[in-house]
A and B are shown apart, each in its own frame.
Chain A
Amino acid sequence: MITLTVALPLLAAFLLPLAGPLRYALGPAVPLAMAWLALQAWAPAQAEPFVIAIGGFRPPLGIAFYVDTIAVLLNLAVAACVLLLWPWGTGADAARKQSLTLLLAGASAGLALSGDLFNVYVFYELVAVASYGLAAGRGTGAGYAAAFRYLVVSSLGSLLALIGITLIYFRAGTLNLAHLAELAPAALHDPLGLSAFLLLLVGLGVKAEMFPVNAWVPEVYAAAESRVSALLAGLVSKLAVLVLVRLLVLVFPLDEARLALLVLGTLGIVTGELAAWRARDLTRMLAFSSIGQLGIVLVAFAIPGEAGLAAGLAVAVHHLIAKPALFLLAERWGGSIEALAGAGLRSKLGGALFVLFALSLVGVPPLPGFWAKFLTLSGLAAQSGAAWWLAAAAILLTTVVEASYLFRVVGRLYAPDDEGRAAAQGRLQLAGAGVLGACLIAAAAGAVPLGEALKHMAAQAGDRPAYIERVLRPHPEVAQ
């Protein structure tokens, strides 16, 4: 059933332009159906992850979808984000954007589920193509320029990832992740295998806003609509990170691989946060801060063991909630920070939501952002070695920087100014941000059960022998 979350949006994306007036109902119905399907799969996946062999062919020969709690959670997130950030409208322009958004949704769901490097590559490219179209969607010269530059960087990244996949296939002769996990100690844990991982890291890192390949981030987020920036920063980056984590856990559980992730993540934190501090307009500040946050996610996932997985999940999910909301708020406020004077006084709810999310991003105790950073820091502190402590120091220091620039914005929002120029918030954006804010507060209230759920998820994702067992040697009653 959960395979429909991939098939349904892809089908709808191509049918939508032909559906005539039906498409006003069809479009938003698809993410709703996706959410329902994902919810159906939640309980079984929580109890025991299961494998779907597509077409009935057994892996490693056939293609498999691996359904565990993280995959279902990300599927839910895809559906929720697409619904919240849906491009409402009636013109031909809106129809194109709706098709592209559905394409992005289907490919993202596939990326979360697939247990096969071949499929990962295909879905990754689908996500990429859809996001180029969405990035250029505003129709301005700057939009086209940013989209083109993004396309070049991203294609180069996919090319490197493809070479990495080639190297892996050359060594191991399979692309199924479980089969690779079984063969990896003999075939891939050597310099060639490690270079394949690095190629994949740099290639997939383009979408994950990783340090050396993230020059496209501020340009695209400033030139595209905030809705699109929210999708790319909130959702697509997490999916790229998920693929990297699956590779790290299953195929390359090596110290060198973790170190590469740690170093690139730390550099991302430092450069992103410092650039955000220097930014003079809200959209680009959020873009740079998103680079920094993704750096924390990478650092957290680099920590070995379940502690690292739990911390990384916490940071990633928190960012997945907070960043789209901030981009939604920036839709109307996305000018220079100076021009924001008094905007929070005129739009009370918008100002309050911005303060809430800023506090959570910085990590003020009762909010989930604090727990995410706390888990990461305690995980880092448990490791021994200069690189880990350097990463912890970078996170602590950049928290100060983060607080400084976010509260500079908050200060402007509540500055007394009668003839401020910033427009009031639109109702749609405010509603979206409000829903995400409610999620954040609910998460703060239920921090303890949420932490247990995260731990369970991390334990599932980190269980390498069970993954191999489930995919390659399924019990007849579990396989379906």
Chain B
Amino acid sequence: MIELTSYALYAGAIGLLLIGIAGVLLCHHIFRVVLALGIAEAGANLLLVLTGFRWDGTAPIIENGIQGHMVDPVPQALVLTSIVIGVGVQALALALAVRLRQAYGTLDLREIRVRMERDLDAQAGVAPPASQEEPAGGRPLPPPVARPLIASREARP
């Protein structure tokens, strides 16, 4: 029974990791990316706790001399640290997301990327690379089209 639970926990940890990493790589909405990072971190932390865990162990605190087995404290300390770091990084990510929303008015990472590259090019004083929509040189441009930069699910908070 204990063995089965262990396997389930390991499978759960690896599953959380995979879900999280897939989420970070595939999602375009900032909030989903931040959440996916959180999920992946939870998976990694669970995996780390499992490496030092024993079912017959007690908490690693010595009270009346050492009695029986104890759970390995090093992974637990590491997990505590990593949880704290994770909270800090997520808060920072959300703060950046708020600023991004204020600056660009969107939370769609693709659109943010396009606008960031345009801004960087403008700041450096180089023309953006020629594209089909904006051909280089003095050729006449097609009439402006009234549609968003990228037609996609509109990113809303």
Residues of A within 8 A of B (CB): 118, 121-122, 125, 128-129, 132-133, 136, 140-142, 144-149, 151-152, 155-156, 159, 162-163, 165-166, 169-170, 173, 175, 219, 222-223, 280-281, 283-284, 334-336, 338-339
Contact = CB atoms under 8 A, between A and B. Distances in A.
Interface in B75-124: 75, 77-78, 81-82, 85, 88-89, 92-93, 96-97, 99-100, 103-104, 109, 112-113, 115-116, 119-120, 123-124
Interface stretch (B43-51, B130-138, B143-151): B43-51
B48 A335 contact: no
A159 B41 contact: yes
A283 B124 CA distance: 8
A151 B97 CA distance: 11
Contact of A166 (B44, B77, B97, B125): B44
Contacts of B17: 159, 163
Interface string B64-79: 0000000010110110
Contacts of A166: 44, 47-48, 51, 75
Contacts of B123: 140, 142, 222
B96 A281 contact: no
Contacts of A283: 124
B9 interface: no
A284 B96 contact: no
B47 A146 contact: no
A148 B47 contact: no
Interface residues of B, number: 43
B104 A284 contact: no
A152 B40 CA distance: 12
A151 B115 CA distance: 18
A145 B125 contact: no
Q: Is the interface of A mostly helix, strand, loop or mixed?
A: helix
Contacts of B74: 118, 169, 175
B116 A152 contact: no
B120 to A, nearest CB: 5
B89 A219 contact: no
Contacts of B88: 129
Given A141-B115, A144-B103, A155-B89, A281 B48 contact: no
Contact of A146 (B52, B81, B116, B126): B116
A219 to B, nearest CB: 7
Q: Which DSSP category, helix, strand, loop or mixed, fits chain B's interface?
A: helix
A156 B37 contact: yes
A140 B96 contact: no
Given A151-B93, A281-B126, A284-B120, 8 more contacts: A129-B88, A148-B100, A152-B33, A155-B37, A159-B44, A165-B48, A169-B51, A173-B72
Contacts of A136: 96, 99
Given A118-B78, A151-B92, A159-B40, A145 B21 contact: no
Interface in B2-42: 17, 20-21, 24, 30, 33, 37, 40-41
Contacts of A280: 124, 126
Nearest to A282: B124
A408 B97 CA distance: 39
Nearest to B123: A142
B104 A169 contact: no
A78 B152 CA distance: 46
Given A163-B44, A334-B124, A169 B37 contact: no
A361 B14 CA distance: 45
B77 to A, nearest CB: 8
B63 to A, nearest CB: 20
B127 to A, nearest CB: 9
A145 B116 contact: yes
Contacts of B119: 140-142
A281 B125 contact: yes
Contacts of B77: 118
18 contacts: A118-B78, A129-B89, A133-B92, A136-B96, A142-B123, A145-B104, A148-B93, A148-B100, A148-B112, A151-B96, A155-B93, A159-B40, A159-B41, A162-B48, A166-B48, A169-B75, A175-B78, A336-B126
